């Protein structure tokens, strides 16, 4: 009996030990099946031409057609005197506001493009109604109509911000720039007009700083330039020089600095900024050229060209010396090239104006009986000066190992060659023709020798400095 009890104790101990081992062992669960690989297309699906016509072209034409129809309906209602002026305006404001509110329903259902189209139509009807209330029916004074249109523009801007819609921001910008044109009464309000344009440009700039909507900047520039030149053609006089020059300088500086700090995502946007910088340089100088157009000749205009060249050189040097983040690198290279191109262009303009001023105002004092002598000496001086300018630019390009500078020099020399063969032959006397062709020939032979020597190892593709 005792043996059985001892055997039973051994079995219980073995069973207890086995259970304790099982309790300490990790519990294994069946692993879930691996997820099925999701096939991602290599490229985004291309939008077909049919889809573009149906979605984009018909959409834009439809907006234009509805706005034209609304304008014609307004005129038809006026001609037939269906309702009074106040009722017509209120109907227009109600319809425009209702369409904008109705568009939100389509946006909530996922029809974003159609919702934007309705907003554009509603905004256009609001502007037309406010314009009619001011210009046709004289129900609103100019300040009230102006304030109402600003509210419409601000509402569009807020919706574009909240809905992250560049299209709405564009509509807001267009509406804001149309407001002074719609409310124009033919009077000269220079400070109010350009002060308003500057505020609107700053608002667009602030929006572009927060959103990558870079196309708004060229829109603002083109609209501002349009108002600058349209105003100057109709209202400018010499007594307004100080105020006009100050406002022009402020707007020029704004559009020359804005491309340096706005956000960019894609490389082509840097090219757009460079084009904007060059267009601003041309428009700004043209504005000052017209403001400085005086009987005393081209001296002030030449000085202005020198100042513009110095400004763009200083801008380029400042950008080179600044410790910019990496995402500014591509932009800074493109803008540096644009600034250098502008500076060299303004140097050439200053040189041409200085030659004209010297021979026409200093030597011949504008005496038209001496026009033949002026042409002879001036044309020869143009050729000689630009040969020297092109040669100097080419030497600097060799010294700095800059293909960008050398290409500009070659372009300038090519233009000079064309001038010598097309103009100097007919307008210069025999002696000056000889000097002109000899000088050109010697310069071109020297340039050819420099390229044949291959000082920069251009044939092997080494030793070349990247474009600035």
The per-residue pLDDT for 9 is 64
Using CB atoms within 10 Å of the CB of residue 106, give its burial: 0 to 12 exposed, 13 to 18 middle, 19+ buried.
middle
Q: Which of 168, 201, 223 is the last residue of a domain?
A: 168
Residue 231 lies in a domain: no
Q: Does residue 271 or residue 1 have the better pLDDT?
A: 271
CA quadruple 168, 196, 228, 120: dihedral, nearest 10: 20
Per-residue pLDDT tens for 285-340? 999 998 887 655 578 899 999 999 999 999 988 887 775 555 566 677 888 889 99
Residue 47 lies in a domain: no
Least trusted range by pLDDT, from 57-61, 97-101, 396-400, 418-422:
57-61
Q: Which of 168, 194, 215 is the last residue of a domain?
A: 168
- Whether the pLDDT of residue 39 is over 50: the answer is no
Q: Could you list the residue range(s) of the whole structural domain that residue 85 is in?
A: 55-168
Per-residue pLDDT tens for 430-445? 676 676 677 767 767 7
Residue 190 lies in a domain: no
Residue 232 lies in a domain: no
Mean pLDDT on 193-210: 90
Q: Which of 126, 152, 168 is the last residue of a domain?
A: 168
pLDDT tier at 344 (50, 70, 90 boundaries)? very high
Q: Record the pTM.
A: 0.71
pLDDT tier at 461 (50, 70, 90 boundaries)? very low
Query: How many other C-beta atoms lie within 10 A of the C-beta of residue 156?
Result: 26
Residue 410 lies in a domain: yes
Number of domains in the chain: 2
Residue 127 lies in a domain: yes
The per-residue pLDDT for 187 is 83
Per-residue pLDDT tens for 222-244? 999 999 999 998 898 888 899 99
Residue 465 lies in a domain: yes
Residue 463 DSSP SS3? coil
Which has the closest alpha carbon to 240: 287, 306, 285, 286? 287
Residue 88 lies in a domain: yes
Over pLDDT 70: what percentage of the chain? 72
The per-residue pLDDT for 29 is 46
* Tokens encoding 139: 């129900």
- Whether the pLDDT of residue 281 is over 90: the answer is yes
Residue 466 DSSP SS3? coil
């Amino acid at each position: 009996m005792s043996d059985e009890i001892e055997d039973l104790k051994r079995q219980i101990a073995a069973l207890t030990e086995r259970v304790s081992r099982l309790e300490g062992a990790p519990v294994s669960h069946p692993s879930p099946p691996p997820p099925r690989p999701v096939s991602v297309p290599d490229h985004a699906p291309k939008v077909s031409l049919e889809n573009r016509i149906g979605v984009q072209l018909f959409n834009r034409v439809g907006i234009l057609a509805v706005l034209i129809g609304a304008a014609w309906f307004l005129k038809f209602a006026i001609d037939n005197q269906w309702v009074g002026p106040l009722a017509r305006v209120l109907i227009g404001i109600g319809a425009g506001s209702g369409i904008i509110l109705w568009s939100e329903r389509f946006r909530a259902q996922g029809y974003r493009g159609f919702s934007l189209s309705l907003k554009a139509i509603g905004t256009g009807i609001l502007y037309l109604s406010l314009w009619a209330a001011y210009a046709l029916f004289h129900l609103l004074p100019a300040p009230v109509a102006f304030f109402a249109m600003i509210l419409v523009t601000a509402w569009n801007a807020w919706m574009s911000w909240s809905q992250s819609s560049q299209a709405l921001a564009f509509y807001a910008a267009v509406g804001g720039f149309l407001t002074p044109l719609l409310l124009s009464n033919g009077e000269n309000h220079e400070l109010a007009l350009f002060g308003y344009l500057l505020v609107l440009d700053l608002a667009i700039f602030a929006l572009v700083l927060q959103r990558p909507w870079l196309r708004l900047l060229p829109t603002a520039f083109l609209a501002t330039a349009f108002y600058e030149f349209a105003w100057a053609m109709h209202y400018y006089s010499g007594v307004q020089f100080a105020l006009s020059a100050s406002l022009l300088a402020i707007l020029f500086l704004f559009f020359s600095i804005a491309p340096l700090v706005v956000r960019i995502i894609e490389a082509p946007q840097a090219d757009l900024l460079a084009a904007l910088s060059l267009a601003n340089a041309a428009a700004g100088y043209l504005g000052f050229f017209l403001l400085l157009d005086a009987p005393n000749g081209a001296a002030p205009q030449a000085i202005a060209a020198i100042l513009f060249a110095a400004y763009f050189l200083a801008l380029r040097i400042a950008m080179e010396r600044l410790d910019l983040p990496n995402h500014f690198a591509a932009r800074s290279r493109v803008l540096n090239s644009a600034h250098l191109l502008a500076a060299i262009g303004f140097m050439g303009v200053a040189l041409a104006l200085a030659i004209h001023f010297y021979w026409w105002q200093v030597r011949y004092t504008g005496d038209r009986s001496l026009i033949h002598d002026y042409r002879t000496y001036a044309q020869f001086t143009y050729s000689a000066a630009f040969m020297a300018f092109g040669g100097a630019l080419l030497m600097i390009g060799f010294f700095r190992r800059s293909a960008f500078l050398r290409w500009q020099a070659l372009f300038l020399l090519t233009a000079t060659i064309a001038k010598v063969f097309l103009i100097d032959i007919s307008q210069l006397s025999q002696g000056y023709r000889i000097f002109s062709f000899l000088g050109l020939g010697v310069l071109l032979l020297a340039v050819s020798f420099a390229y044949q020597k291959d000082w920069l190892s251009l044939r092997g593709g080494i030793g070349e400095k990247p474009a600035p």
